Structure 1
Amino acid sequence: MNDLGLIGFILLLANFLFSYKGFTNPQVFAAYKFEVDSILFHKDFKRLVSSAFLHVNWMHLIFNMLSLYAFSNLLENQLGGLNFVLLYLTSLVGGNLLALFVHRQHGSYSAVGASGAVCGVIFASIALFPGIEVGTFFLPFQFPGWLFGLLYVAISIYGIKSKRGNIGHEAHLGGALIGVLLACYMQPEALAYNLFTIAIIALPMLAFILIILARPDVLVTDNFNFKKNKRYYTLEDRTNEERTNRQQEVDRLLDKIKQKGLNSLTAKEQQTLQENSKKNR
């Protein structure tokens, strides 16, 4: 492992500080985690970024930060600090956008963790450094970069389709693809000296993502329980439900005014009527 560069140190520190805040304050964790309804329905787009600086527990945090530590200095020295942080943040957002697309019909789906960004860093390193070897925390040997990348992509694709386990495979795959593409954009000469590795890891990811964008139904073919319940609680359903609930509340308040007068409304009830009036204009 190499010593940390400045940007790598800042990213590690930000992850530790923000994750610790989430560990000790459930309100912070709830307000900044990735959650489909909050992003799509309530337009809380900051969660696409903030969720990647939160983690479920110390083991989750340390696992991601050790992976970042192992590759950050190598890549930061190669790309420069500005390009490195750009790649990290773009991989982070790209991974979460793919997760948002895959889970767009699952309003309660939530996730946290820097894995998408870290995958971007790891796969960018595989793309830029021929002959690099990548190990895991569970095996006593290392894989050639191209083989690790290919196996990781296969596992991620299977995980997305099978929907097994509590792992954000979508964010991993999206972050990894962004990392490879952005690294090649920043240093296009890599396409000449490391084309085999880049092609063998990038093409399966790109093909799979293009397929699910064009044919989202392929995501439900592997899981019996998922196929069995094809009636999703969609964003449109939630919008209609909220509209119905809001109208029922307004009708109740109008009945109350009719029976007891306007002064019978509490301040909160008056605010509800005013907000509904504005929405209907």
Structure 2
Amino acid sequence: MITLLIILVTSVVSFFAFSNRRLMDDLILWPPALSRSREYYRLVSYGLVHADWSHLIFNMFTLYFFGRTMEGLYTQAMGPLGFVTFYIGALLFSILPTYMKNRNNASYRSLGASGAVSAVLFAYVLISPWSSIYVFIVKLPAIIYAVLFVAYSIYMDKRGGDNVNHSAHLWGAAYGVIFTIALEPSLLPRFIALLSQPSFS
């Protein structure tokens, strides 16, 4: 239910922001708003708005498929608000390096839940590395997808020029793995053991 609630809230806010420039400007990550007006809520609210329908749909579909699986783990370990805590933490953790790099850049803006969704996805890879993930029509083991995703994100982050915050994807992925291992340390040796026993499904 928490996953569905996050999807609902994000979709509704994004929908209204598509046609309401004031709402978009009030929620998007814009560094001067933090330094001048102390609007620190933007370090989380940027994840409620998206650039367009394809951006929103891709993120929310990914969150739907993997969030439902991961929600149970955080709820069991942290209580009813466990998954919300994880997700908000992912939004914050994934954007901080970008904010620090651009804190004096008045022309910089960032939006979208991709960093938090990456955290959910990579936490899933940690617990089920050989399960299948479909990338368009290609079926890949989750761990192979994760390696390709990291390599691509590093390359594109260095290259730049596509208006995508690849840094947030990488830091979100790192957060998902680190947070989940810190919460359940036994998952690390389990993950290593699973890697040595490929099982394609």
User: TM-score range with shorter-chain normalisation?
Assistant: 0.7 to 0.9
Deviations 1:185-240 (A, max 9, x none): 12111111103789xxxxxxxxxxxxxxxxxxxxxxxxxxxxxxxxxxxxxxxxxx
AA paired with 1:85? V
Q: CA deviation at 1:40?
A: 3.0
Query: For residues 197 and 88 of structure 1, do their structure 2 counterparts lie closer, same or farther at Cα, with a shift above 3 Å needed?
Result: farther
TM-score normalised by L of structure 1: 0.64
AA paired with 1:132? S
Q: CA deviation at 1:157?
A: 1.3
Q: Distance in 2 between matches of 1:47 and 1:153?
A: 26
Larger Rg: 1
Secondary structure at the counterpart of residue 134 of structure 1 = strand
Any gaps of 5 or more consecutive residues in structure 2?
196-201
Task: Select the residue among 125, 144, 148 that pairs with 1:147.
Answer: 144
Secondary structure at the counterpart of residue 110 of structure 1 = coil
Q: Which moved more, 1:97-106 or 1:173-182?
A: 97-106
Q: Distance in 2 between matches of 1:135 and 1:187?
A: 27
Secondary structure at the counterpart of residue 194 of structure 1 = helix
Aligned twin of 1:93: 92
Task: Select the residue among 4, 25, 32 that pairs with 1:30.
Answer: 25
TM-score normalised by L of structure 2: 0.88
AA paired with 2:133? V
Alignment coverage as a number of residue pairs: 191
Any gaps of 5 or more consecutive residues in structure 1?
1-5, 199-281
Q: Which has the higher contact order (CA 8 A, sep 6+)?
A: 2
Q: Distance in 1 between matches of 2:85 and 2:186?
A: 19
Q: Which moved more, 1:168-177 or 1:76-85?
A: 76-85
Report percent identity of matched pairs.
31
Task: Give runs of aligned pairs for residues 1-281 of structure 1, distance below 5 A.
Answer: 6-80=1-75, 81-137=80-136, 140-195=137-192
Secondary structure at the counterpart of residue 50 of structure 1 = helix
Q: CA deviation at 1:42?
A: 3.1
Q: Distance in 2 between matches of 1:197 and 1:100?
A: 36
Q: CA deviation at 1:141?
A: 2.1
Query: For residues 71 and 158 of structure 1, do their structure 2 counterparts lie closer, same or farther at Cα, with a shift above 3 Å needed?
Result: same
The 8 Å contact of residues 129 and 141 in structure 2, kept in 1 or not, is answered as no
AA paired with 1:79? Y
The 8 Å contact of residues 102 and 170 in structure 1, kept in 2 or not, is answered as no
